[in-house]
Amino acid sequence: MKVAVYPGSFDPVTNGHLDIIERAAGVCDKVVVGVLNNTSKTPMFSAEERVDMLKGVTRGLKNVEVDSFSGLLVDFAESHGAKVIIKGLRTVADFEYEFQMALLNKTLNQNIETMFMMTNSKYSYISSSMVKELAGFNGDLTGLVPAQIINKIKQKYTG
């Protein structure tokens, strides 16, 4: 069984993330979405909220699971029996960091490969930080994030 892990902060999940999850689910037996629960960062959404949002938006994908992690990504992947880490690349700006991470993760665990998927060009300009900035100005989030989480994001700003 080919299990892949798709890690990220997902603060919040965007349509770009969802597109990668759907495409990865089409080529792997199982995709485990790994939500980083990093205590040194202050995310807008708690790890539990991010996991719930991801579970909601991937409900129709039967071979997708969502879990949070707080240690090394390679250890999370191994704990799920995953030999592949999936990463999305939007532009060349993503490349250098991802290249470094892929080499580091390979050094940490020789048995795990990082595989890259090019982001759908429709979503190449979307990032979670842009979504939060736009939401802070009460901008329209239609098409940027899954429709069912738009109100959850807005509530963070309206209280």
Please report, as ranges, the residues that interact with ligand PNS according to CB under 6 A. Answer: 7-9, 36, 72-73, 101, 104
**83 touches 17 (CB < 8 A):** no
Active-site residue 80, yes or no?
no
As a whole number of angstroms, the distance between CA 70 and CA 73 comes to: 8
Q: How far is the CB of 73 from ligand PNS (least distance, A)?
A: 4
- The closest of 90, 32, 28, 29 to 58, measured between CA atoms, is 32
Active-site residue 41, yes or no?
yes
| Options 17, 30, 50, 132, the catalytic residue | 17
Active-site residue 128, yes or no?
yes
Q: How far is the CB of 126 from ligand PNS (least distance, A)?
A: 12
Active-site residue 2, yes or no?
no
- In three-state secondary structure terms, 65 is strand
Instruction: Give the contacts of 12 (CB within 8 A, at least 6 positions apart).
Output: 44, 45, 50, 53, 128, 131, 132, 145, 149, 152, 153
Nearer to ligand PNS, 47 or 73 (CB): 73
Nearer to ligand PNS, 23 or 159 (CB): 23
Q: How far is the CB of 159 from ligand PNS (least distance, A)?
A: 26
- Which residues are known catalytic residues? 17, 41, 90, 128
